[in-house]
Chain A
Amino acid sequence: MKKRTVLDGIQYAFIFLASAISILSLVVIIVFVLQKGLSHVSWNFLTNSFKPSDPNSGILPMLVGTLYTVGLTLLIATPVAIFSALYLNEYAKESKITEVVRFAIDGLASVPSIVYGLFGFSLFVTILQPFTNGYSILSGSLTLSIMILPVLIKTIEETLKTIPNEMREASYALGASKVQTIFKVILPTSLNGIISAIILAIGRIVSESAPLLLTAGMVYYMPQGIFSSSRTLTTHLYYLASEGVSDEQRAQAFATATVLIMVIVVLNLIVKLVAKRIQKKVG
C-alpha cells in the first residue's frame, strides 16, 4: 500500500512536470514573441507593402501570400487525402498492395521538408514551368500538398477506423449503397477527425519555409494570383531574421512572428466554425 502511494506520487510528479514544461514553454515563447512584436504591429504594418529599408514598410503581400498558399494547398491536398483514406479503409481489401502503399505513406511522412522542396523545384518549377509559371504560389502549394499528404491521409484514415462497423452495417441493412454509406454516414461521422487533420495541416503549411523558398520564391510584391511568385509570412520572417541586422529589421521580424501566430489562431477558428456549419447542415 505504502509503496504504491509513493510510486503514484512519483508518477504524478513526472506527469505534472512534463505538463508544466510543455505549457510553460508555450507560454514563454508566445509571451516573448508578443512582448517584442506586438508594439510594432500597427494598422500600417498590416496594410503596407514591403520595402527593404523603409521603416514604414508592412507585410500585406506576405499576409495575402500566406492565405493564398494555405487555401490552395488545402484545396489540393484535402480531397486527395480524403479519397485516398476512403480507398484504403473502405474499398481496398488488405493485401500486399495496401501494405506497400501504407509503407510508402509512412516513409514519405518522415522525409525532411527540404527534400520535398528540391523535388518540387525540379518538377513544378523546372519541368512543369509552362503550367506553373516556375516560381509561383501554385508550385509552392503543389509541393506543400505532396508534403502534407502522408500525414493527412494517415490521420483521416485513423478517424475512419474509429467508426464502428455497426454504423456501416446499419446503413447497408437499410438498402443504402456503398457510395451513399460513405457520403451520408462515414464522412459526416468523421467530420471532426477530418477537421483536426486539416488544422494540423494548416500548422504545417504555415510553418514551412525551406520548400517554399525553393518553389514559390521570395518576391515581396503583392501576388496577382496563383501564378505569381510570393513570400509567405514564414519565408519573410526567415529573410528578416537572417538578413536583418538593424534594430528596425529585428522589430519587424518579431512583429511578423506575432502576426503569424495570430493568423494560425484565426485560421483554426475559421475551420472550426465552418465545421460547425457543416455539422448543422448534415444533421
Chain B
Amino acid sequence: MEEIKFDVKNLNLFYGDFQALKNLNIEIKANRVTALIGPSGCGKSTFLRTLNRMNDLVDGVKTNGEIRMDGKNILSDKVNTIELRTKVGMVFQKPNPFPMSIYDNIAYGPRCQGIKDKKVLDELVESSLKAAALWDDVKDRLNKNAMGMSGGQQQRLCIARAIAMKPEVILMDEPTSALDPIATQKIEELIDVLKKEYTILIVTHSMQQASRVSDDTAFFLLGEIVEFDTTLNIFSNPKNKKTEEYITGRFG
C-alpha cells in the first residue's frame, strides 16, 4: 500500500461567482511525481495553489470541500498557512529569485523561520544547492546577485530555495515553460532524483514531459478531473475519449 499525501474530497473553488474547480476528488501518493495536464484555463494552477493555500492571497476566493494532508484538513481555518508552506514548497512558472545574492536567496526561507546560526545556514545553502545540481555552477559566486544567472540556473535556484525549507512536497507550476531544451532536461533529471525524497506535483503543457517525469497523471478539463491514473495507463490506454483526444493533440 502506498502512502497517500493529499486526499482531496469534493473540492470546489470559486473566484467570485466563477467556479474554477468543480467537485475534485483525487488521492496524491507520497514520493511520486504527479503530473497535472489539461488545456489552458482548466484549473491546474488553481488546484496546485490550493495545496499550499496560495489562493488565500487572491481577493474573493472561496473554497469548500476537504484536502487532507497526512490526514489533517489543510483547508481548515485553524491551519497555520505559514507552517503549511514550509512543508509544501512551490516553484513558479517564471523563475522568480529575489534580487539579492545567491546565498541570501537560499537562506531566505530558513531565516524567516528564525534560523540565524551561520554554520547551519552555510550547510543548508550548500546541501540545497547540491540537491538542485547547482553547487558546482555557483559555489564560487554565492555572494553574487542571483539576477545575473541564466534562466535555467535561476529556476534551479528556485528549486534549491524550496528544498532549503526541507519540505515534504514540492509543487511545480510549468517549471520549464520559460526555459530552453537543455535547461529543461536538467530540471527533468533533477525531478527524477528529487522524487525519492519529496512528493512532487508538476503542471505541464508538454505531453512528453508528463510521460517522461511523472508516475501518475491527472487530466483536467473545465475545472474537473476527467481522468486520473498512472502515467503509463493515461498515455497508453486512456479510458476517457476526451483524455485520448487531448494527449494525442487533437485539442487543447
Q: Is B92's CB under 8 angstroms from A169's CB?
A: yes
A176 with B112, Cβ < 8 A, contacts A188-B100, A283-B100 known: yes
8 A Cβ contacts from B155-180 to A: 158, 161-162, 165
> A184 to B114, alpha carbons, bound, how many Å?
13
* Nearest neighbor of B112 in chain A, beta-carbon distance: A176
| Cβ A176 vs Cβ B54 within 8 A | no
Binds A, one of B4-12, B78-86, B210-218: B78-86
Nearest A residue to B85 by beta-carbon distance? A175
Q: Report B94-122 residues with CB < 8 Å from chain A CB.
A: 94, 96-101, 104, 108-109, 111-113
Among B54, B59, B83, B112, residue most surrounded by chain A Cβ atoms (within 10 Å): B112
How many B residues face the partner with a CB closer than 8 A? 29
- With contacts A175-B83, A282-B100 taken as known, whether A170 is within 8 angstroms of B92 at the C-beta atoms is yes
Contact A174-B165, Cβ < 8 Å, known A180-B112, A283-B101: yes
The CA-CA distance from A254 to B94 in the complex, in Å, is: 56
Q: Is B234 positioned at the interface, with any CB of A under 8 Å from its CB? A: no
B43 contacts A by Cβ under 8 Å = no
B52 within 8 A of A: yes
Assembled-state Cα–Cα distance A169/B55 (Å): 10
Determine if B109 and A175 form an interchain contact, defined as CB atoms under 8 angstroms apart: yes
Contact B94 A174 (CB under 8 A): no
Instruction: Determine if B54 and A175 form an interchain contact, defined as CB atoms under 8 angstroms apart.
Output: no
User: A166 is contacted by which of B86, B89, B96 (Cβ under 8 Å)?
Assistant: B96
Instruction: Say whether B52 contacts A173, CB under 8 Å.
Output: yes
Question: Least Cβ distance of B221 to chain A in Å?
Answer: 26
- Is A2 at the interface (CB under 8 A from chain B)? no
Mostly, the A contact residues are: helix
Is B158 within 8 A of A170, CB to CB? yes
A185 with B112, Cβ < 8 A, contacts A174-B161, A174-B162 known: no
Question: Contacts of A172 on B, CB cut-off 8 Å?
Answer: 54, 57, 85
Interface code B47-63, partner A: CB below 8 Å = 1, 0 otherwise?
A: 00000101001010000
B37 lies within 8 A of chain A by Cβ = no
Report the bound CA distance from A177 to B86 in whole Å. Answer: 11
Q: Which residue of A lies closest to B94 (CB)?
A: A166
A282–B52 CA distance with the chains assembled, in angstroms: 28
Answer whether residue B74 sits at the interface, using C-beta atoms and an 8 A cutoff.
no
Residue A171 is within 8 A (CB to CB) of chain B in the complex: yes
- Tell me whether B202 is interfacial, beta carbon within 8 Å: no
Task: Report if B28 contacts A (CB, 8 A).
Answer: no
Q: B59: which A residues are within 8 A, CB to CB?
A: 93
- Asked if A167 lies at the interface with its beta carbon under 8 angstroms from chain B, I say yes
Chain B residues with CB under 8 A of A93: 59
What are the residues of chain B within 8 A of A164 when measuring CB–CB?
Answer: 96
Inter-chain contacts of B90 with A (CB < 8 A): 173
- Cα distance, A173 to B82, chains bound together (Å): 8
Pairs of residues from A and B, 10 with the lowest C-beta to C-beta distance, nearest first: A283-B100, A174-B109, A175-B86, A173-B90, A166-B96, A175-B85, A176-B112, A283-B104, A170-B96, A180-B112
B residues with a Cβ closer than 8 A to A are: 52, 54, 57, 59, 82-83, 85-86, 89-90, 92, 94, 96-101, 104, 108-109, 111-113, 145, 158, 161-162, 165
A-side residues, CB < 8 A to B, are 93, 164, 166-177, 180, 184-185, 188-189, 282-283
In the complex, 24 of the A-B residue pairs with CB atoms within 8 angstroms, ordered by the A residue number, are: A93-B59, A166-B92, A166-B94, A166-B96, A169-B92, A170-B92, A170-B97, A170-B98, A171-B98, A173-B89, A173-B162, A174-B85, A174-B86, A174-B89, A174-B112, A174-B162, A174-B165, A175-B83, A175-B85, A175-B113, A175-B165, A176-B82, A176-B112, A184-B108
